[in-house]
């Protein structure tokens, strides 16, 4: 995994360049953009990242841009900065999942703290995503027979019942089960059940 | 029957009456020839006995062509009865009768004559006394023509005066009314007959009477006019005691050495009333405009301050960021000289930028709190359009509005929304003042947009924004000669303070569209 990246989108040139210097002063990689559109043209990084976004932008506003990202299924944490913030605007931004809403001029530490939290959040989200992807890959490596046996085990059926259901010997079922546990890198049957449940819950919203 | 001439008659007379009377007929004939009139002498059956030379010359007919009843053909047929009058009326009469008739001249044209006729009893020695008529005709055609022309003019004048809706009234030097037309009854309430001989001052209120009398006196003495004689506004007094505004014009005529003044008096109550209503309406509009300007100024200053705060915050943020970054790098002994130089340069530039903005509007500091009321956007649009009312007509702008019904209320400050709309509409109007080759259309729309916000759009067919569409929202940017460049910047601040957005797009085929959205608060009103 690459080092974290902070994206800055602000149409004021001097604010943009000063943010770049400030954020890079704590050793973070920064990329800045003058508009939402130019940011969207950049390929999403394979690294924890966050977005420092000015509310007032030419063309698409910051709040609309936040909505646009959600529609595109881009889950980057957002820190809003604004020169003229008010409560309704900040409530709207926070409700839509913003990490922080800072009014210019802000204390440098507040911004850097918000960036740290945002990156941790993104990192955690990425970790979870990675774990799920791994699980999915392992599950996909099972044979259809093994997947069938596993799902029956998870639903609480005994080996004998599974054998009867599939019209096979109980020993065969036991072999499928232990192979599956091995392939899924599970330490125990209990962990295997947990893994399958995690997979199910992550795929459920997509099935709805 | 032969035409008898007087000399024949004379001869007969002298033969019968002897020497004493023999000179009489000669005198008569000579006398008739000397009269500067056309003379005919006829017997009771109307046939002529004699016509003098003047008659013959005027008609161009010799004696023999006038003999008997032939002479009567020279009288206009319509006037024949009039010519003879009551002749014969009686033997004893020596009276003189007068009438008028037309007689045809040698040129075939008829002229008017005054006919004087008398009956005489003709006595000859050897016959019964017999009746004769003498007609002396005097040419009055010219006088008659003038009279007719004068009568026509007089009649025309009389008609004009009688039917005039304005009062026509004449006054003598002594101030008494000589003449009043029928309009007097309608305007003043007096029948014209009731006014003749009475003082003109009875038609004016007390305060004018002395002035009027003094004015007339002075004019008669000095000939100096102290008021305009054409269209002076004065006050009249009706019979019922009501005073009313009048417009008076008058003229002067001298008759038999006396001066007569004739006035034309127009009741201008209605005109005055209309003027008064217009003035009042004007005052209301002015008051409203002044109030709007005042409210606008007050809140604009608050919003100006907010906008300025925003503009100043940009460079301040940059200064903060740059200096914080330098401090951090310094603490880590990681500050490269080129980075430091660039940061310092930017700090100086941003400091200059901030102080330039502050210097411009040092005075506006305080921000008025934004009111949060439930507002019907259509109602606010209606209020603004009503305020603008005459502004559209003045600029020959066709105003259309397409307002969606039953829009949910938004939360906001009514006056601020009015200001923003007013600002957008005024901008639209101004953008169209140069347009002469197409209709000046201003369309105000309201509806719900895709995200459920209330959207208001103001479309114009003006000159459009070109490449400056985004810059118009920048403070101090203006395309107008006398613009401050804050209107749209402030408007955007106001709308964003309401949680909405304000932006500009080109209109098709001409002009610009300014759109704003206002969020609808969650939960329905009770």
Q: What is the pLDDT of residues A27-43, one digit of tens each?
A: 999 999 988 888 988 88
Under 8 Å between Cβ of A102 and A111: yes
Rounded CA-CA distance B460/A112 in Å is: 46
Q: B329, B360, B391: which is the final residue of a domain? A: B360
CATH number of the domain to which B40 belongs: 3.30.450.20
- B309 and A CB contact within 8 Å: yes
Nearest CA in chain B to A107: B320
pLDDT value for B94: 63
Any domain includes B107:
yes
Rounded CA-CA distance B336/B316 in Å is: 23
Rounded CA-CA distance B114/B103 in Å is: 10
CA–CA min distance A141, chain B (Å): 44
Q: Does B92 share its domain with B112?
A: yes
Helix-, strand-, coil-residue percentages of chain B, each rounded to 5? 45, 25, 30
Rounded CA-CA distance B100/B139 in Å is: 10
pLDDT value for B521: 86
* Global pTM value: 0.39
User: Are the Cβ atoms of B324 and A22 closer than 8 angstroms?
Assistant: yes
Q: Does B28 share its domain with B73?
A: yes
Which residue range forms the structural domain that includes residue B447?
373-518
pLDDT value for B480: 53
Span A159-199, pLDDT tens digits: 899 999 888 898 999 898 888 888 888 888 888 888 888 88
pLDDT-flagged residues of chain B (< 70): 1-28, 86-95, 123-127, 281, 284-310, 357-371, 389-391, 467-471, 474-486, 523-526
Span B72-126, pLDDT tens digits: 889 999 988 888 776 655 444 566 778 889 999 999 999 999 988 887 777 666 6
Any domain includes B247:
yes
Instruction: Give the pair of three-digit tokens for residue A192.
Output: 């295997």
Query: Structurally, how many domains does chain B consist of?
Result: 4
Q: Does B377 share its domain with B514?
A: yes
pLDDT value for B358: 64
Any domain includes B150:
no
Q: Does B316 share its domain with B410?
A: no
CA–CA min distance B469, chain A (Å): 10
Q: What is the ipTM of this complex?
A: 0.73
- DSSP, collapsed to helix, strand or coil, labels residue B479 as coil
Q: B267, B285, B309: which is the final residue of a domain? A: B267
Q: Does B133 share its domain with B13?
A: yes
Which residue segments constitute the domains of chain A, with CATH numbers given?
5-127 (3.40.50.2300), 142-201 (1.10.10.10)
Q: Does B234 share its domain with B279?
A: no
From the list A12, A61, A84, the residue facing B501 with the nearest CB is A61
A21: which chain B residues are within 8 Å (Cβ-Cβ)? 321-322, 325-326, 339, 343
Higher pLDDT, A109 or B423: A109
Q: Given a cut of 90, is residue A51 above it in pLDDT?
A: yes
From the list A17, A55, A83, the residue facing B314 with the nearest CB is A83
Please name the residues in contact with A106: beta carbons below 8 A apart, sequence gap of 6 or more: A81, B317, B320
Q: Does B184 share its domain with B284?
A: no
- A94 and B CB contact within 8 Å: no
Q: Does B285 share its domain with B323?
A: yes
E-strand ranges in A55-137 read 78-82, 100-103
Any domain includes B159:
no
Phi, psi of A81 (to 5 degrees): -125, 145
pLDDT value for B367: 41
pLDDT value for B63: 84
User: Are the Cβ atoms of B317 and A92 closer than 8 angstroms?
Assistant: no
Q: If phi over 0 gives left and psi between -120 and 50 gives alpha, with beta otherwise, what is residue B523?
A: left
């Amino acid at each position: 995994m690459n080092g974290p990246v902070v994206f800055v989108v602000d149409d004021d040139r001097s604010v943009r360049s000063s943010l770049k210097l400030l954020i890079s002063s704590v050793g973070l990689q920064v990329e800045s953009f003058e508009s939402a559109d130019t940011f969207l043209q950049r390929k999403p990084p394979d690294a924890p990242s966050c977005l420092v976004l000015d509310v007032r932008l030419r063309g698409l506003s910051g709040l609309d841009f936040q909505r646009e990202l959600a529609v595109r299924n881009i889950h980057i944490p957002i820190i809003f900065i604004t020169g003229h913030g008010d409560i309704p605007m900040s409530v709207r931004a926070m409700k839509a999942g913003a990490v922080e809403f800072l009014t210019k001029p802000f204390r440098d530490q507040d911004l850097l703290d918000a960036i740290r939290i945002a990156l941790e959040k993104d990192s955690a989200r990425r970790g979870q995503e990675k774990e799920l992807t791994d699980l999915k890959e392992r599950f996909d490596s099972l044979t259809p027979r093994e997947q069938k046996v596993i799902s029956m085990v998870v639903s609480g059926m005994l080996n004998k019942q599974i054998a009867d259901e599939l019209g096979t010997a109980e020993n065969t079922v036991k072999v499928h089960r232990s192979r599956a546990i091995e392939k899924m890198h599970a330490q125990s049957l209990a962990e295997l059940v947990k893994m399958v449940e995690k997979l199910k819950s992550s795929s459920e919203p997509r099935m709805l | 029957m032969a035409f008898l001439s007087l000399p024949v008659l004379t001869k007969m007379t002298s033969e019968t009456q002897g020497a004493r009377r023999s000179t009489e007929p000669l005198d008569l004939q000579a006398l008739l020839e000397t009269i500067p009139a056309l003379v005919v002498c006829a017997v009771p059956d109307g046939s002529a006995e004699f016509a003098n030379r003047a008659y013959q010359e005027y008609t161009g007919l010799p004696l023999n062509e006038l003999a008997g009843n032939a002479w009567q053909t020279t009288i206009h047929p319509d006037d024949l009865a009039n010519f003879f009058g009551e002749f014969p009326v009686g033997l004893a009469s020596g009276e003189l009768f007068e009438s008028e008739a037309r007689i045809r001249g040698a040129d075939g044209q008829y002229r008017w004559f005054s006919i004087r006729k008398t009956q005489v009893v003709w006595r000859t020695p050897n016959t019964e006394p017999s009746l004769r008529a003498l007609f002396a005709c005097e040419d009055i055609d010219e006088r008659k023509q003038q009279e007719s022309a004068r009568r026509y003019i007089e009649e025309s004048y009389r008609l004009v005066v009688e039917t005039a809706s304005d009062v026509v009234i004449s006054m003598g030097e002594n101030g008494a009314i000589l003449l009043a037309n029928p309009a007097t009854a309608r305007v003043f309430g007096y029948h014209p007959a009731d006014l003749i001989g009475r003082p003109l001052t009875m038609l004016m209120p007390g305060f004018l009477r002395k002035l009027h009398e003094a004015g007339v006196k002075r004019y008669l003495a000095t000939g100096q006019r102290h008021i305009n004689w054409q269209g002076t506004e004065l006050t009249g007094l009706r019979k019922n005691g009501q005073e009313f505004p009048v417009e008076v014009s008058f003229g002067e005529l001298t008759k038999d050495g006396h001066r007569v003044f004739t006035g034309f008096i127009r009741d201008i109550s209605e005109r005055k009333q209309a003027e008064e209503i217009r003035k009042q309406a004007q005052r209301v509009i002015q008051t409203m405009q002044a109030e709007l300007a005042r409210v606008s100024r007050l809140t604009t200053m608050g919003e100006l301050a907010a906008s300025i705060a925003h503009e100043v915050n940009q460079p301040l943020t940059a200064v903060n960021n740059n200096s914080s970054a330098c401090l951090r790098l310094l603490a880590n002994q990681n500050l490269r000289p080129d980075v430091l130089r660039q940061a310092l340069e930017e700090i100086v530039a941003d400091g200059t930028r901030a102080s330039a903005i502050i210097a411009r509007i040092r005075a506006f500091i305080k921000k008025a709190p934004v009111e949060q009321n439930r507002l019907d956007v259509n109602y606010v649009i209606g209020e603004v359009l009503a305020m603008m009312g005459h502004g559209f007509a003045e600029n020959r702008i066709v105003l259309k509005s397409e307002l969606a019904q039953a829009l949910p209320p938004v939360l906001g400050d009514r006056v601020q929304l009015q200001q923003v709309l007013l600002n957008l509409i005024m901008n639209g109007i101004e953008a169209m003042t140069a347009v002469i080759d197409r209709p000046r259309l201003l369309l105000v729309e309201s509806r719900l947009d895709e995200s459920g916000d209330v959207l208001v759009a103001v479309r114009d067919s003006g000159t459009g924004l070109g490449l400056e569409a985004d810059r118009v929202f920048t403070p101090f940017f203006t395309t107008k000669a006398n613009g401050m460049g804050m209107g749209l910047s402030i408007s955007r601040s106001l709308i964003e303070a309401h949680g909405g957005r304000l932006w500009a797009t080109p209109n098709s085929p001409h002009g610009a569209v300014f759109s704003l959205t206002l969020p609808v608060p969650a939960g329905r009103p009770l």
